[in-house]
């Protein structure tokens, strides 16, 4: 924040100077046109034309200790809205590290390696946020999560590990869409002009959308983990046990669908009904676990325990999404 004195001209109008660093960072030039708007007792000043200059972030790979940290750093730069991420080293970037960079880029929508040298790799993002409908992309993400869960449970019923593996891989790939959604939401949150272009009416609504995206992301994570655990199953389950798991998954899927619809439609009654159904999921979880204990005092196998735990986790995040629906209704 800068404090500047309000001055007057000979004609009696008022003016205030802008810091030189701000002018440079926005790519402004003398004679350029600016928009002024009065919003809630605040004066908003914005460039009249042109896309904001690309945001860039340097990433010193010498300070990155392992592959996981490198992937997280690249992903964080992407989500934060940087158009260019420059990965640098004082000496050289090792071939193994370059392979890690390429694999990290494969998990990001719209990113490519623009330049590559011995000591520097430049990543460039080509995604224009104005090309995406945030609400439709969120719906697509929600639907893909439910499809993964459905196929994982079908794989459990049929003993079809190929189907479960396919569901796992699709679910893992959906994390690309999660990162894109988070990036888009942050860009819209920060850029008032972009909000106007996308007809987003308030900062608060974008903040609530970001919360919803995070909950959808957690549900997606649990869904593809369910599929992974189905591939790890070794014991054969009784038909009655599988039926209970299927029922639990159906209730959970309906909760997820209902929570998303309540969020979009700002339907308080529907959101409340989703929250109320969590008790049904808890009871089914306890029934399944108790059934396994009666059969074997050691309890269910670890993969099966994780399956029912993760289905319950999806239901929990459906409740969280329903809470966001309540917030959205009062936006």
User: What pLDDT, on a 0 to 100 scale, did the predictor assign at position 118?
Assistant: 96
Each residue's pLDDT tens digit, 237-286 = 889 999 999 999 999 999 999 999 999 999 999 999 999 999 999 999 99
User: What pLDDT, on a 0 to 100 scale, did the predictor assign at position 51?
Assistant: 54
Q: pLDDT band for 136, please (50, 70, 90 cuts).
A: very high
DSSP characters over 102-171: HHHHHTSTTEEEEEE-SSEEEEEE---GGG--HHHHHHHHHHHHHHHHHHHHHHHHHT-HHHHHHHHHHH
- Kindly state the average pLDDT of the residues 176-182: 96
Q: pLDDT band for 65, please (50, 70, 90 cuts).
A: confident
| Coil, helix or strand at residue 318 | helix
Lookup: tokens for 200: 């987003």
User: What pLDDT, on a 0 to 100 scale, did the predictor assign at position 132?
Assistant: 86
Give the rounded percent of residues in the chain with a pLDDT score beyond 70: 96
User: What pLDDT, on a 0 to 100 scale, did the predictor assign at position 15?
Assistant: 85
The whole-model pTM stands at 0.83
The dihedrals phi and psi of 48, each to the nearest 5 degrees, come to: -80, -25
User: What pLDDT, on a 0 to 100 scale, did the predictor assign at position 52?
Assistant: 54
Q: Does pLDDT of 164 surpass 90?
A: yes
Q: Does pLDDT of 293 surpass 90?
A: no
Each residue's pLDDT tens digit, 183-202 = 999 988 888 778 877 777 78
Q: Beta strands of the chain (E only): which ranges?
A: 7-8, 14-15, 34-39, 42-47, 56-60, 84-88, 111-116, 120-125
Q: pLDDT band for 112, please (50, 70, 90 cuts).
A: very high
Across the chain, what does the average pLDDT equal? 90
For the chain, which domains are there?
A: 7-47 (2.10.260), 56-127 (3.30.110), 130-329 (1.20.58.220)
User: What pLDDT, on a 0 to 100 scale, did the predictor assign at position 152?
Assistant: 98
- Please tell me the least confidently modeled range out of 5-9, 70-74, 305-309: 5-9
How far apart CA 74 and CA 93 sit, in angstroms, is 15
């Amino acid at each position: 924040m800068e404090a500047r004195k309000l001055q007057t001209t000979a004609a009696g109008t008022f003016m205030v100077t802008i810091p030189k660093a701000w002018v440079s960072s926005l790519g402004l030039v003398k004679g350029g046109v600016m928009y002024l708007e009065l919003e809630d007792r605040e004066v908003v000043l914005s460039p009249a034309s042109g896309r904001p200059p690309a945001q860039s972030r340097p990433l010193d790979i010498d300070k990155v200790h392992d592959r996981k940290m490198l992937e997280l750093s690249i992903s964080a730069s992407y989500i934060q809205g940087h158009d260019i991420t420059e990965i640098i080293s004082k000496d050289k970037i090792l071939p193994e590290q370059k392979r890690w960079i390429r694999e990290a880029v494969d998990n990001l929508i719209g990113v490519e390696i623009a330049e590559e040298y011995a000591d520097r790799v430049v990543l460039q993002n080509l995604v224009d946020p104005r090309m995406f409908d945030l609400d439709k992309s969120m719906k697509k993400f929600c639907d893909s999560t439910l499809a993964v869960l459905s196929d994982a449970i079908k794989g459990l019923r049929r003993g079809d590990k190929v189907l479960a593996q396919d569901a796992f891989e699709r679910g893992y790939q959906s994390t690309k869409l999660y990162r894109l959604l988070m990036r888009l939401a942050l860009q819209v949150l920060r850029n008032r002009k972009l909000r106007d272009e996308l007809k987003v009416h308030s900062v608060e609504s974008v903040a609530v959308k970001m919360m919803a995206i995070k909950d959808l992301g957690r549900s997606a994570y649990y869904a593809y983990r369910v599929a992974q655990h189905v591939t790890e199953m070794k014991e054969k389950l009784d038909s009655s046990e599988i039926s209970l798991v299927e029922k639990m998954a159906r209730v959970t899927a309906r909760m997820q669908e209902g929570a998303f619809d309540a969020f979009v439609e700002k339907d308080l009654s529907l959101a409340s009904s989703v929250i109320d159904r969590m008790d049904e999921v808890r009871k089914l979880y306890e029934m399944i676990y108790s059934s396994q204990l009666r059969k074997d005092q050691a309890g269910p196998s670890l993969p099966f325990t994780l399956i029912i735990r993760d289905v319950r986790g999806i239901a929990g995040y459906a409740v969280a999404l329903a809470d966001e629906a309540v917030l959205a209704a009062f936006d």
